[in-house]
Amino acid sequence: MNLRRFDGLCAMITGAANGIGAAVAHRLAAEGAAIAVIDLEEERLRAEFASLPDAACLTMAGDCTEQAMLQGFLAAAEAKLGPVGVLVNNVGQSARERGSPFVTSREEVWRFVLEVSLMTGLRLTRLVTPGMQARGFGRIVNMSSDAALAGDAGLVDYATAKMGLVGFTRSLARELAPDGITVNAVAPGAVRTRAHERIPAQVLERIRRGTPAGFIAEPEDVAGLVAYLASPEARFVTGQTILIDGGRWML
């Protein structure tokens, strides 16, 4: 097995200070990628990647909902690490403590969730793809959620945003396939991230029991799938949404 599948490539990962984003960045770096990572949590981000060589890592603190920040992130990444070959649109968030049934929800919360979980991916992809087209190669992986397919109650705004990424993935994959660029989505289910710290133990147990595999995944489980989709081995896989949820929802 080739464990250096990303030698010579620059990979951008959003929302990388914790959880799935951090695990994906570490996995790609372990296989040779130079990584550019961004997150709102500056200290946590720098600490997470402090062990990586400076020449192969760019960390940037910033809000991915701001167009100017994304433009600066791309410019800094390419200036330091070279052209972007892999883009992982990972940043996203549910309403969390502001969540509620739809009939009592508020539009400002919908807009927040859509901005973070959908629009960030569209904006950064729009910035990155012209360079990929010019070079005739690219890998784009969008982080959706099985909530989009299962239709979890209380997550209408989040499910809407994450299903939006599914449609985005499919249409963009058709547009970019002639340019040697693949576009895929990953839809995780229950994954042990920092958000679980705010979930009551009995709720986590209910989630575990509702997962046929019988356990809650680790971020590294998702990182392995993302690494495959970003690798040369997945050159014939595009426009797909792949669930990684222990069998909770099956296509």
For the chain, the straight-line distance linking the first and the last C-alpha, in angstroms and rounded, comes to 29
Mean pLDDT of the chain: 92
Q: What is the three-state SS of 155-213?
A: CHHHHHHHHHHHHHHHHHHHHHHHHCEEEEEEEECCECCHHHHHCCHHHHHHHHHCCCC
1: in domain? no
Total number of domains constituting the chain: 1
- pLDDT at 162 (0 to 100): 95
149-162 burial, b at 16+ Cβ within 10 Å, e below that, comes to: bbeeeebbbbbbbb
3: in domain? no
Tens of pLDDT along 163-215? 999 999 999 999 999 999 999 999 998 888 776 666 556 666 777 788 889 88
Q: What does the alpha-carbon distance between residue 177 and residue 175 come to, in Å, rounded to a whole number?
A: 6
Q: Where residue 172 sits, what CATH number does that domain have?
A: 3.40.50.720
122: in domain? yes
Tens of pLDDT along 149-164? 888 777 889 999 999 9
- pLDDT at 197 (0 to 100): 65
Q: What does the alpha-carbon distance between residue 168 and residue 176 come to, in Å, rounded to a whole number?
A: 12
Q: Angle between the 219-230 and 19-30 helix axes, to the nearest 10 degrees?
A: 50
82: in domain? yes
Residue 158 annotated in active site? yes
Tens of pLDDT along 98-148? 777 888 889 989 999 999 999 999 999 999 999 999 999 999 999 999 988
Total-model pTM:
0.93
For 141, 151, 159, the CA distances from 247, given in Å and listed in that order, are 21, 15, 18
30: in domain? yes
84: in domain? yes
251: in domain? no
Of the candidates 143, 158, 183, 219, the residue annotated as catalytic is 158
Can you give the residue range of the structural domain that contains 208? 10-244
